[in-house]
Amino acid sequence: MKRLFAALFCLLLLPEPGARAHPHVFIDAGLTLLFDRQGRLAAVQVFWAYDEYTSLLQLEDMGLDRDGDGVLTPDEQRELAGYDTNWVDGYEGDIYLTHAGAPISLAGPIEPGARLENGQIVTWHIRPVINRLTPEENHVEIKVYDPSFYVAYTVDLGVRTSGREGCDTAKLPADLGKAYDLVEELLYGPSAASDAGEDNFPMVGEHFADTITLSCVPGS
């Protein structure tokens, strides 16, 4: 009977993915993969559409759209552009690319822009690929995520390619059930206590990320 109670407590109390686990900001991301004349992957243009609540917070913070009509003046649009590309050291822009499993280094953001669309702030910027590469079949993988999972990304604005024919992208959805299991495991599992105190919250963002794969027909 005692065992039963113990199991019962665990069942009742365990499924708690931590106070900081769940995201506070939701972003719909979109990507345009930019190729150069040689057909190499040269840069990624990143689009972020913030949820309406975060957008409203940001607008009020910056004192924009005072009349609340959801339309920014050209001046306000200029002011908003680039507000989210002034990155602190160590921030990697929440986009991670690999080529045949090795990380692809990206330069910092350039050419930022922003607009307000149906209550959502949509921003964009370009991340040049430092060593341009020729994508082979299925070997370029892209994930969009915040490691700390403060921001939850979905790549719902679409992935496009530009500057080259014969390339295709596919999206492999994240296994959310597995991701939540991992959060519980890291927070309350047997190994949880050992690394408690190292971090505010385990870096689980990656496990919530869809995987985008890029495949190009060789020589196209």
Partner 1 sequence: MRPWLLIPVLFTLAVLAWLWLGGGFDRLMIWAAEGQRSFQNSMARALRALRSGDPGALTALLAVCFAYGFFHAVGPGHGKVLIGGYGMGRRVAMLRLSVLAVVSSLAQGVTAIVLVVGGIALLELGRRELETITEDFFAPASYAAIAAVGLWLVWRGARRLWRTTGHRSLPWRGDRAVVHPEHAQGLAHGHGHGLGHGHKHAKSDHSACAHCGHAHGPTAEEAAAVRGWRDAVMLVGAIAMRPCTGAVFLLILTWRMDILASGIAGTFAMALGTASVTVAVALASVGLREGALAGIGQGAGARLAVPVMELCAGGVVALVAGQLFMRALA
Q: Does 190 bind partner 1 (CB under 8 A)?
A: no
| Dihedral in degrees, nearest 10, Cα atoms 21, 184, 156, 217 | 130
Shorter beta-carbon distance to partner 1: residue 10 or 217: 10
Shorter beta-carbon distance to partner 1: residue 104 or 116: 116
Q: Does 2 bind partner 1 (CB under 8 A)?
A: yes
Helix, strand, coil percentages (3-state) for the chain, rounded to 5, are 25, 35, 40
Q: Does 174 bind partner 1 (CB under 8 A)?
A: no
State which of residues 51, 76, 146, 210 lies at the interface with partner 1 (CB under 8 A). 51
Shorter beta-carbon distance to partner 1: residue 70 or 166: 70
Structure tokens at 3: 């065992």
Q: Does 91 bind partner 1 (CB under 8 A)?
A: no
Q: Does 200 bind partner 1 (CB under 8 A)?
A: yes
Q: Does 181 bind partner 1 (CB under 8 A)?
A: yes
State which of residues 82, 83, 128, 152 lies at the interface with partner 1 (CB under 8 A). 152
User: How many whole angstroms separate alpha carbon 160 and alpha carbon 149?
Assistant: 25
How far is residue 11 CA from its own chain's centroid? 32
> What is the DSSP code string of 70-123?
S---HHHHHHHTTTT--PPTT--TTEEEEETTEEPPBPPPEEEEEEEETTEEEE
Structure tokens at 180: 């939540």
For the CB of residue 61, give the shortest distance to partner 1 in the complex, in Å. Answer: 6
Q: Does 55 bind partner 1 (CB under 8 A)?
A: yes
Q: Does 117 bind partner 1 (CB under 8 A)?
A: no
Beta-bridge partners for 214: 140, 169
User: How many whole angstroms separate alpha carbon 196 and alpha carbon 189?
Assistant: 11
**Residues engaged in binding partner 1 (CB under 8 A):** 1-2, 4-6, 8-13, 15-24, 26, 51-57, 60-61, 68, 70, 119, 152, 176-177, 180-181, 187-188, 192-193, 196-201
